[in-house]
Amino acid sequence: MRPVPIFDTNIFGHVQDGRISRRDWRFLLAHRPGHGWPLSAVTTLELLAGLQEAHSDRFFQRKAQVELAYQLSRGRVLEEPRSLICREVLRVPFPSEEVPLPVDLLADHIHIVRCAKSLADILEGRVLVNRLRTKGLGHRGFSGFQPAILNDLVSGPKNSWKENIENFASEIYSTWREHFQKTRRRLPDALRKDLKVRLVSEVEKLRFAETIVRWLGGSTEPAALDEMKKRLDAVLEFTTYVLRQFLTRDYKLENHDSDVYDQFQLHYLAMDRFVLVSEDSDMVARTGGSTQAGRIVPFARFLSSL
């Protein structure tokens, strides 16, 4: 079975600025399935989230990326990875206290951006559209949305990511907050020296995997945890890198929003059918030691497989 590609957000920026040629883009479109390759919910959210700072030229730059994404996906948006993991891997319902990303709403927002002539039209509900999934019953009419509401959609993953990193840090050194207030460092020198060895241990990865599985409501039996550790290996490798940066450098989680999207995106690799097509050299470097590194492929390599 041919792998299903998850196209990272940077792909559309690279087409726009010419690092991916129009010729290669046309070749990709010619080989996409008739119904397109669905955009990941994570990529969709990141594309839309960029509208919050968009003004004039910046809006049209982001709109052009949305149009490229629509060409590839035919407007389809894939469920977020946590929902897929619950249903296909853990065989449990999605946690009732959490709200999965609303796929139909994200797809409608992509359509609205494509049809908009300006950001003001979106903000004031003056975009003429049809066939929205969440309202209008497919009839032609005017619509729009407030980009700020996207903060609510991404706040859950962001808060979960921040909480997990801080909890992992507390397991390594419970008083890191107090130490940081006194010294502007989160670890004493002695602990900083052996941190690299400790964080690459299989025991630590298993603990990280258990945290994710418990949050999703899956089984924590040893065999089940070992399976999830394998399926989340790229996520765990990425998390280990960020945790090391957090504990040993002046690394502020709130200043690295792209890390939230990258880590969230990597969850798709828990399902065997997906590959991640990305030009993000930082992501590749941070997951280079993962057993799933081969499923994070540059655009040119994916193109050659078609």
Is there a contact between 286 and 99 (Cβ–Cβ < 8 Å)?
no
pLDDT at 69: 96
pLDDT at 148: 75
Task: Please give the span between the terminal C-alpha atoms of the chain, in angstroms, as a whole number.
Answer: 13
List pLDDT tens digits, range 223-265. 999 999 999 999 999 988 888 888 888 888 877 878 888 999 9
Residue 32 burial (C-beta neighbours within 10 Å; 0-12, 13-18, 19+): middle
CA distance linking residue 37 with residue 75, whole number of Å: 9
pLDDT at 195: 73
Q: What is the DSSP string of 238-281?
A: HHHHHHHHHHHS---GGG-HHHHHHHHHHGGGGSTTEEEE---H
As a whole-number percent, the residues of the chain with pLDDT over 90 amount to 52
List pLDDT tens digits, range 59-70. 888 899 999 999
User: Could you tell me the pTM of the whole model?
Assistant: 0.91
**Exposure letters 93-104 (e unless 16+ CB within 10 A, then b):** ebeeeeebbbbe
pLDDT at 54 over 60: no
Given pLDDT bands bounded at 50, 70 and 90, which one contains residue 56? low
Q: DSSP character for 98? A: S
List pLDDT tens digits, range 151-195. 777 777 788 888 888 888 888 888 999 998 888 888 888 887 777
Phi, psi of 127 (to 5 degrees): -90, 125
Q: Does residue 272 sit in helix, strand or coil?
A: coil
pLDDT at 249: 83
Query: Mean pLDDT across the stretch 118-137?
Result: 86
Query: Hey, what are 176's tokens?
Result: 């890191």
pLDDT at 201: 66
Q: Which residue has the higher pLDDT, 189 or 267?
A: 267
